[in-house]
Structure formats: structure tokens, C-alpha cells
Structure 1
Amino acid sequence: MTDPDVRLVDMTLRDGMHAVDHQFTPEQMADVASALDDAEMDVVEMSHGDGMGGSSINYGFAAADTGEYLDAVVPELTDTKLSVLLLPGIGTVEELDLAVDRGADMCRIATHVTEADVSAEHFEFVNERGLEANGLLMLSHMASPETVLEQAKLMEEYGAEAVYVMDSAGAMLPEDVRERVGLLADELSVDVGFHAHNNLGLGIANTLAGIEAGATTVDGCLRGLGAGSGNAQMEVLVGVLEKAGYDVEPDFFGVMDAAEDVLVPMLTEDTMPELDNDSLVLGYAGVYSSFLRHTRRVGERFDLDPREILVELGDIGVVGGQEDMITDVAARMADDEPAAAESESDD
């Protein structure tokens, strides 16, 4: 067996949690993990959609706690590594301790693209506990390539073994990906990763652009499940990479079977990823993909078009962790509408 050119991280049990309002049961997670292990997936990531500690009124309560999910998933993985996600300010060292004690192999630490400095102590702890530590720079479209590099170097200094450019809003074009990933690949001494969302329909194309620019580890989800219109679709990604001549570890048919036979029966019509008008606006406006379902609910509450709310959120530059702003912005827009209507009638 040769070493794969590209390492694949399947996030169905983490980013895919957004699509199901974090309601995968431990049993469902175990079934998906088992199928991915059978398909020889490199890494499976598991946690609340917003990382360990994310189960809350702000981000949505999960169907079970982190310990229950870990106890269900870990026994199903043999050669496949298990990753957990932590966002400083949401997750804590206590959750990291739990993940280590229950059998996680990796921890991916995610910050906003300009806030890598908040992750120093988390990298220190993960490294002390012997886990592989990766750094994720969320909403990388909101910073110049030079700023992304500056922040990536901080994570490298803190002990990251790989640093990811994350297109958390699905807002990047292939050239945006090449500029950021290529600069990191040239300047860092650690691996570079890329994480795509499909809000502009570019999830696979942008992932290929990232790999061509030097990314050696990339993310995807079965059936493209994920926040917004979803992530790069894992079974498509495996097939495309094989056709492009890359040496990848997961079995193409096995990943297809995991999606079709195991995941799909768990999903309902409203949880299947879809590139519809609202999610398209996410990418157009550059808004964090996990805001979509929250925005739809708030739009219904205030009788507003979710697209108008998303554009306004993009204009004010909201970032991950500011979900409370959705209601504030919608309430202000709803208050402004009668005044605008009155002004039009006066004309």
C-alpha cells in the first residue's frame, strides 16, 4: 500500500450535524462511522456542529452529549482515525480531556481567520496529551492571503501539524482558493488543508483548486451533508480524485455505499443538502454557512425574506459565534419596514 497523496477527512458526523439540527443519535453515528471505517476513510470527525461544547441554546441542543457520541463511535473505528472539533470560547479543556480519555486521535482547533492567537493554550494542551493537532482558519475569504498566512504561522508556532484554509461561507472562487492555499503551502513547514462549502456550487472545484495549489488534506461529507448547501460531497470527491490520478486511501464504492445505504435512510427531505436561493445568497454575501437554518426560522418569525437578512448580515461582516445577531438584525429590519412603506405612500 502506498501513502496517499491526499488525506480525506469525512465530517458527516460533525458539519453534517448542522443539516439535521444536531439530532443524529449515538446509534446513527455508530452506523455511519462503521460504514466509513469499512470504506477505509482516513479520518472521521465527530462532534456537535459547532464543536465540543456547542450543545446549547445559542447553537442548538444535540440529541446526546459528547461522551455518549464518543462511546458510540470509537468502537466502530479500526484503522480510521477519529477527530474532534473545538472552537475556543465554545469548547473547553474539560471537553478536550473527555475526548482524549474516550479515544480521539486528533483535535482540530478552529478560530476566526484573524483570531488565531486565542488558540495557543488549546494547541499546547492537545500536544501535551499526544493528539495530532490541526488548526482551522474559518471564514478565510474575509482576510487577504497575507493575513491568512500571518495567522497560519501563529498556529504553526503553537504546534499545529496542519493548518486549514476554511471557506466557511462557500464564498470563494477557485482563484481565491489558489492564492491562499498556495501561499501557505509555499511558506509553512507543516501540511496545508482546505475545507469547502458548496453555496456557490464550487465545493468540488474549489477543493481541486486547493489540492493543485498544495493542500494535502481536505474535507468532505457523505452526500455533501453540511451547513448551508453542504460541503464538498465525499463520494464525488473520492471518484474525482481517482480520475485525476491522485492516490487516495478510501474505497470509491465503499464510500458510495456508506452514503446511499447508511446515511440517506436517516435523512428527510428538508435535511438533504440543496443549492437553493437562500444558500446561494450565503455564498454571495459571504455569511457563515451554519447561519442558514437559523436565518430561515427568524425570517419566518418576522415575516422577512431570509435572503434580505443574509445580505444585511454580510454587509455588517458577521462571523461565526454571532448567531444572536440574526435576530437583532431581523428585528431592526422589521421595524424599518413600516417606516419605509409609509415613506413610499407619501411619495
Structure 2
Amino acid sequence: MKKPYIQDVTLRDGMHPIGHQYTKEQVKELAIALDRAGVDAIEIAHGDGLAGGSFTFGFGAQTDWEWLEGISEELTHARLTTLILPGIATMEDLEKAKNMGVESVRIATHCTEADTAIQHIQGAKKLGMDVGGFLMMAHMNSPKNLAEQAKIMEQAGADCVYVTDSAGALLMNDVKDRIEAFKEILEPSTEIGIHCHHNLSLGVANTIIAMQHGATRLDASLTGMGAGAGNAPLEVLIAVLNKMEVSHNCDLYKLMDTAEDIVRPLQKRPVRVDRETLSLGYAGVYSSFLLHSERAAQKYGLDTRAILEELARRGMVGGQEDMIVDVALDMIK
């Protein structure tokens, strides 16, 4: 089994549960701690990627450039990475990030819209960057069709393509089937990645299943810091890998200490599986819809679970956060 490449998303996906309010100092402190703990890549951006700060997604406490400034010079092992969504970030944003020391980027699209990433993947490769394709809401596409979307990203130049369970809705067999479908269609030189949310408490289990079937790039975050019930908790994943005697570069105790001493105290809303976050995975709804739905439920006297179920019924996906209030108003009518 190839040594797994551990990518931390505490400073990107982990923006969501605190409303993108990390300070520049907190980002720097966590990036240095993660690097010293041996993670292979650290992703930094607004929760919705570079240039994600907006009325729709929420404005950050700092800009992407303030968060990224001076980080690359502090890293001794980890690769500095970021994420962009076509239609939100531009190639100019990516060039600026590259000039600030970002070496790797994930291009994120809905699981049926890989063609919207072609220009960005090709542009990132021209900049000499390591490029990952990031197929979000992977449960909304069949294994075969998802693999065909992955092929589009590979042909555009992606070095790796991810099965991205943005809703935390995939079961273990679902993950296995998608990884196997990727292996059947992608070139052996193209890596496969896995990004799991923890809404059904399967984040770590699904990550391990993906690894056992061929995924080599594994996403996780400290305390699971991320949208909804969070991501696969990094310190738990590393503990499991240790128990399995899988070789990696991470120091478990350093990650545990950083998770407990620095990250957990930042959580205004606990990142955990509870009534609302479980409903995300159960209904198959985009994890970052959580706080938007909770606010709408409180304002209009609705049950958050009912809003989430209605969003799922309508097939709403990432980028439609501004429609959640409209859905709540429709439900009142």
C-alpha cells in the first residue's frame, strides 16, 4: 500500500463552523503546528475557496491574502495548498496565491459539472502547480458517471481526482464502488483522493475504506473541524492508521494536543453529530447549508430538519445558500 498523503483542511473547510472568522494569527499558529506534526499538505482559504467571501457565503474576518501571507516561509514539510470554485475565483486569484507560495490547488465542482473546471485545471498546470479535481456531493452521481466526470478532470491535467462526500451521505460500500470505478477508468499515474464528512459518523471509516481500495490522498481536519458534523477527524484518522500499522508522516500526540488546546476552544457551535448535522447526512444535503438553515429556522419558526429535508427534495447543491431563505418562506406559505 502506498504511503498515504495526509491533507489537512482545518483552515479551509474548518472555516465554516466559525463563520470564516479565523484571525490571521490563529491561521499562522495552526499552520505551524500542523506542519510540525507532519501533515503533508495544509489547505488555506475561505471555506468556499479563494474569493469566497460574499453576502451569499459570508465574509471572512480576514481576506484570503491576509490568511496566506507569510505562511509558506514557515512550513518545513507540508505543502501549502488552496481551493477554488470556478465561477467564484478567477485565474488572477490563483496566480496571486501561487506568488504567495501556494504549491497545490483543488478545483471544486458539483459532481456532474467537471467540464467547468477544465480551464482552471489547465491554467493551474501552466503555473506549475500540483492540481486536484474535487467532485463535490459525490452521492448525487452514480459510481460510473462520477468516474466519467473524474476522467474529464484527468484529461484536463489533474494530478489527482477526489471523491468528495460533501453531505456525509455515503455509506462504506458507496465509497468502495466509487473508488473502484475511478480505478477502472483513470490512468495508473493519476492519484485518487477522498474527502469525507462525518454527518453519519462514517468519516474515518469511509476514509479507511477508500484507502484500502486505492485512494492515496486522504483529507481530514483537527477535531473534524468543518461544515456540518465536520470532516474525518484528523487525530482519530491518524490513531486508526497507527493501529493498522500504516506508515505516514504524522505525529499523533502533537495533533491531539493541537486539536484539544487550540481548535476545540474556537468552536462556538460544537462540531459533532447531533440532531441537525445527522439530518444533513440522512437527507443528503450539502454540509455548509447547516448554519444558513439554522438561522432561517430560528427566524421563521421552523424546524431545521424540515428545511434540510426540503432542500434535499429540491436537489439543491453548493452555491445555492442564498435560496435557503426562499425555501423557508415557501414552507411557511
In structure 2, what is the equivalent of residue 20 of structure 1? Answer: 18
In structure 1, what is the equivalent of residue 262 of structure 2? Answer: 262
Deviations 1:48-103 (A, max 9, x none): 00000100110000011111111142232121101100000111112101100100
CA–CA separation in structure 1 for the residues paired with 2:137 and 2:257: 32
Deviations 1:206-241 (A, max 9, x none): 111111111111100001110001000000101101
CA–CA separation in structure 2 for the residues paired with 1:45 and 1:291: 21
Between 1:194-203 and 1:251-260, the stretch displaced more is 251-260
Does the aligned pair in 1 maintain the 2:7–2:217 contact within 8 Å? yes
Which secondary structure does the structure 2 equivalent of 1:12 belong to?
A: coil
2:12 is the counterpart of 1:9: no
CA–CA separation in structure 1 for the residues paired with 2:119 and 2:200: 35
Alignment TM-score, normalising by the size of structure 1: 0.93
Count of paired positions: 331
Alignment TM-score, normalising by the size of structure 2: 0.97
In structure 1, what is the equivalent of residue 282 of structure 2? Answer: 284
Indicate the structure (1 or 2) with the bigger Cα radius of gyration. Answer: 1
Which secondary structure does the structure 2 equivalent of 1:68 belong to?
A: helix
Deviations 1:119-161 (A, max 9, x none): 1110111001111010000001000001101100000000000
Does the aligned pair in 2 maintain the 1:116–1:151 contact within 8 Å? yes
CA–CA separation in structure 2 for the residues paired with 1:145 and 1:229: 24
Does the aligned pair in 1 maintain the 2:82–2:102 contact within 8 Å? yes
Does the aligned pair in 1 maintain the 2:7–2:40 contact within 8 Å? yes
- Counterparts of 1:94-243 in structure 2 under 5 Å? 94-189=92-187, 190-243=190-243
Unaligned runs of 5+ in 1: 336-347
CA–CA separation in structure 1 for the residues paired with 2:264 and 2:32: 15
Superposition RMSD on alpha carbons, in Å? 1.2
Does the aligned pair in 2 maintain the 1:4–1:249 contact within 8 Å? no
Aligned residue identity for 2:111: V
- Counterparts of 1:15-94 in structure 2 under 5 Å? 15-94=13-92
Aligned residue identity for 2:109: T
Deviations 1:182-213 (A, max 9, x none): 21123212010110001111111111111111
CA–CA separation in structure 1 for the residues paired with 2:32 and 2:176: 34
CA–CA separation in structure 1 for the residues paired with 2:261 and 2:331: 44
Does the aligned pair in 2 maintain the 1:29–1:72 contact within 8 Å? no
CA–CA separation in structure 2 for the residues paired with 1:53 and 1:4: 34
Deviations 1:285-309 (A, max 9, x none): 1100000000000111111001000
Does the aligned pair in 2 maintain the 1:225–1:272 contact within 8 Å? no
In structure 2, what is the equivalent of residue 248 of structure 1? Answer: 248
CA–CA separation in structure 2 for the residues paired with 1:171 and 1:50: 20
CA–CA separation in structure 2 for the residues paired with 1:57 and 1:78: 36
Which secondary structure does the structure 2 equivalent of 1:326 belong to?
A: helix
Between 1:182-191 and 1:225-234, the stretch displaced more is 182-191
- Counterparts of 1:323-334 in structure 2 under 5 Å? 323-334=321-332
CA–CA separation in structure 2 for the residues paired with 1:73 and 1:330: 41
Aligned residue identity for 2:247: D
Which secondary structure does the structure 2 equivalent of 1:107 belong to?
A: strand
CA–CA separation in structure 2 for the residues paired with 1:136 and 1:223: 22
Which secondary structure does the structure 2 equivalent of 1:226 belong to?
A: coil
Deviations 1:10-58 (A, max 9, x none): 0000000001100001100000001011111100000000000100110
Aligned residue identity for 1:53: A
Which secondary structure does the structure 1 equivalent of 2:6 belong to?
A: strand
Q: Percent identity?
A: 47
In structure 2, what is the equivalent of residue 303 of structure 1? Answer: 301
Does the aligned pair in 2 maintain the 1:27–1:72 contact within 8 Å? no
CA–CA separation in structure 1 for the residues paired with 2:12 and 2:255: 17
- Once the 2 structures are TM-superposed, how far is the Cα of residue 4 of structure 1 from its aligned partner? 6.0
Does the aligned pair in 1 maintain the 2:148–2:185 contact within 8 Å? no
Aligned residue identity for 1:232: A
Unaligned runs of 5+ in 2: none
CA–CA separation in structure 1 for the residues paired with 2:118 and 2:105: 14
Deviations 1:259-297 (A, max 9, x none): 1233234x14x3330211111110011100000000000
